[in-house]
Amino acid sequence: MDAAAPVVESREAVDVHAGKTALVRGTYVEIDVRKRQIDPPVYAGHAAVRLGDGTLVLLGPPGESIAIRSEKERGRLRDKEVIAEGILNAVCPSAGGASLQVPCLDPLLYVVTPQTYELLHGD
């Protein structure tokens, strides 16, 4: 792992490292970002990293285009362990409306499997 960027794997670490570039490590999941969470869930391309303690870190603020992840990415990474790097926000920045009270990466630099990360960074 990049020694300069802290590795975040829990809500406690989110709180400690908010505002910094961080490596967020957990499971890639699709999420329903609707205000009214009614079953069944509706997935519109948003994704997050689920940390070991269940905390979700969104991959970009839901109101911005970066938050809509490609079908290819979602298919390749769904339910897999990933590492995402970006500026860690304790609360998603607002994009004109009410902000979600959950952490997110904004800007998000990348999201890859640990194996790809190690290939790229030589760890």
Residue 32 placed within a domain? yes
Indicate the average pLDDT of the chain.
90
How many domains are contained in the chain? 1
The label of the residue with tokens 């969104």 reads 58
pTM of the predicted model, to two decimals? 0.90
Number of residues that this document lists for the chain: 123
Q: Identify the band that residue 123 occupies on the pLDDT scale cut at 50, 70 and 90.
A: low
**Domain boundaries, position 72:** 7-121
- Output the CA torsion sign for 76, 82, 88, 94: positive
**DSSP assignment string, 78-109:** TTSEEEEEEEEESSPPPSSSPPPSS-EEEEEE
| pLDDT for 41 | 86
Q: Phi, psi at residue 88, to the nearest 5°?
A: -85, 120
| pLDDT for 99 | 60
Residue 1 placed within a domain? no
The percentage of the chain sitting over the pLDDT mark of 90, rounded to a whole number, equals 71
Q: Identify the band that residue 93 occupies on the pLDDT scale cut at 50, 70 and 90.
A: confident
Residue 43 placed within a domain? yes
CB atoms under 10 Å from CB of 32, counted, come to: 14
> pLDDT tens digits, residue range 41-56?
889 899 999 999 999 9
Residue 94 placed within a domain? yes
Q: Residue 117 belongs to what H/E stretch?
A: helix 114-121
Here the CATH number for the domain that contains residue 70 is: 2.40.50
pLDDT at residue 97 is higher than 60: no
| pLDDT for 101 | 84
Residue 2 placed within a domain? no
